[in-house]
Amino acid sequence: MALNIDAIRKQFPALALSDEGKPRIYLDNPGGTQVPRQVLERMEHYLIHNNANHGGQFRTSVESDKVLAEAHQAMADLLNARSADEIVFGANMTTLTFAFSRSIGRLFNRGDTILLTRMDHDGNVGPWLHLAEDLGLKVRWLNFDLETYEYDFAEVADLLKDGAVKLAAINYASNCLGTINDVKAITEMAHQSDTLVFVDAVQFVPHGPLDVQRIGCDFLVCSPYKFFGPHQGVLWGDTEILEKLEAYKVRPADKMAPGKFETGTQLHEGQAGTLGVLEYLEWIGETMGTEFESEFPDFRGRRLHLHTAMLAIQEYEQSLSKRLISGLQNLSGVEIRGISNPNDYSRRVPTVSFTVSNQNPEEIALKLAAENIYVWHGHNYALEAYRHMGLENTGGVVRIGPVHYNTIAEIDQTLEVLESCW
């Protein structure tokens, strides 16, 4: 059973909007996605009926706490966490990573070594570089291969082999190349020498089923606004390590996780909205994902539906990747900066970055914007990746980022406009 794209698009009020007769085509999704009505309804309901601070004995506070608990549990289901207490909400991935890097840094000594990648968004690089500066840590870099756009596992092994690396901050899917990395294999290699593994899954969660227990990492971060929810960040951490970590907190705050890490008053309506998007994804799983149920024999209820939804989405998105990449390859002067062999589309998300010889990426983005087609250009915060590709002073790339609510017709329309751009 394929995804019913018409039924899906009806859930998203923003997808029906036009400007001066031109429908909006949202291909800016790696920067942030549109939200289904379940998110809007949950947020509105929270703010009208449940709006209160945490821990009171009166109706709104009790109801508010129920919503927050349910949002934590739903995120645990999405990520296959053992417990809702392993889920920490925060402002966004970057803010959570800055906060956790401080707490994790308390486990390190001056002169210790950490491993960063040249593929990740700066959200999983900058916080660790600051920590390295403050604590006098040594930094090792994992490059990616400029031909395959993937990591070379011999290089991973080489970087880890002396057992000196205390933490590896790695990325699941790349926000510029689209590559999906084998984070389970990297985690296994890292754990052989007790290296902590911190996974940036911001760009994977919108595109596929995720299982923290299968990966075996120690921390994993994502951002609900990249998977059709409100502007929020979520960190998952293994119970044992969350208990061990000292949080930067005010004295009266909870002593236990997740409360000790959720500093100050949280964006409660954001958590309600995150619950809304997970209800939306659950609906996809229940109504369009049943054929994938046998892939998840140990899951039941919402956990099962969320995972089947993401597999159905992944399957559909491969058809978008195929159309987009083959269409771009037919245009003169285009170089795809990522995996482009159709046999390897399962190793990438549909985020496609490209350059065009003698063309400025910003001008291409402007021409598309004139047709109400939204794409990103430049470095998209993946600074190290752009430097590694030699694109730092060239205006970067054009990045086209479809998600499951985009259609083949939208891809074709975009390609048609691109044809007349240069």
Ligand X SMILES: Cc1ncc(COP(=O)(O)O)c(C=O)c1O
How do strand 113-117 and strand 165-171 relate by DSSP bridges?
A: parallel
CA distance 292 to 271: 28
Site for ligand X in 120-149 (CB under 6 A): 121, 123-124
CA distance 360 to 177: 19
Which letter does DSSP use for residue 127 in this model? H
| Contact stretch for ligand X (CB under 6 A) within 10-18, 105-113, 179-187, 200-208 | 200-208
As measured in angstroms, the least distance from the Cβ of 293 to ligand X is 30
- With CB under 6 A as the contact rule, the residue among 186, 202, 325, 336 that binds ligand X is 202
Residue 273 found at the interface with ligand X (CB under 6 A): no
CA distance 263 to 257: 11
Task: Return the number of the residue (229 or 285) whose C-beta is nearest ligand X.
Answer: 229
As measured in angstroms, the least distance from the Cβ of 7 to ligand X is 28
Residue 233 found at the interface with ligand X (CB under 6 A): yes
Among 211, 274, 265, residue whose Cα is nearest residue 75: 274
Task: Return the number of the residue (86 or 200) whose C-beta is nearest ligand X.
Answer: 200
Distances in Å between the alpha carbon of 159 and those of 94, 117, 165, 413?
25, 11, 8, 45
Helix, strand, coil tally for the chain in percent (to 5)? 50, 15, 35
Residue 117 found at the interface with ligand X (CB under 6 A): no
Buried b (16+ CB within 10 A) or exposed e, 195-218: bbbbbbbbbbbbbbbbbbeebebb
**Residue 244, token pair as written in the block:** 């061990």
| Contact stretch for ligand X (CB under 6 A) within 143-151, 199-207, 284-292, 320-328 | 199-207
| Contact stretch for ligand X (CB under 6 A) within 5-13, 187-195, 198-206, 338-346 | 198-206
Task: Return the number of the residue (226 or 305) whose C-beta is nearest ligand X.
Answer: 226
Task: Return the number of the residue (203 or 407) whose C-beta is nearest ligand X.
Answer: 203
| Contact stretch for ligand X (CB under 6 A) within 61-69, 187-195, 196-204, 259-267 | 196-204
| Contact stretch for ligand X (CB under 6 A) within 56-64, 118-126, 261-269, 357-365 | 118-126
How many other CB atoms are found less than 10 A from the CB of residue 268?
22
- With CB under 6 A as the contact rule, the residue among 223, 274, 353, 406 that binds ligand X is 223
Residue 175 found at the interface with ligand X (CB under 6 A): yes
Residue 179 found at the interface with ligand X (CB under 6 A): no
Binding mask 68-107 for ligand X (x = CB under 6 A): ------------------------xxx-------------
As measured in angstroms, the least distance from the Cβ of 92 to ligand X is 3
How do strand 352-356 and strand 373-374 relate by DSSP bridges?
A: unpaired
As measured in angstroms, the least distance from the Cβ of 309 to ligand X is 21
Half-sphere exposure of 253 (CA within 13 A, CB side): 16
Q: What is the per-residue DSSP string for 147-193? A: TTSS--HHHHHHHHTTS-EEEEEEESB-TTT-BBP-HHHHHHHHHTT
Contact in structure between 3 and 312 (CB atoms under 8 Å): yes
- With CB under 6 A as the contact rule, the residue among 77, 85, 200, 269 that binds ligand X is 200
As measured in angstroms, the least distance from the Cβ of 90 to ligand X is 9
As measured in angstroms, the least distance from the Cβ of 168 to ligand X is 15
Site for ligand X in 348-407 (CB under 6 A): 381
Distances in Å between the alpha carbon of 102 and those of 91, 96, 106, 109, 146?
16, 10, 7, 13, 33
As measured in angstroms, the least distance from the Cβ of 379 to ligand X is 11
Distances in Å between the alpha carbon of 14 and those of 24, 205, 320?
8, 21, 20
Binding site for ligand X (CB under 6 A): 30, 92-94, 121, 123-124, 171, 175, 200, 202-203, 223, 233, 381
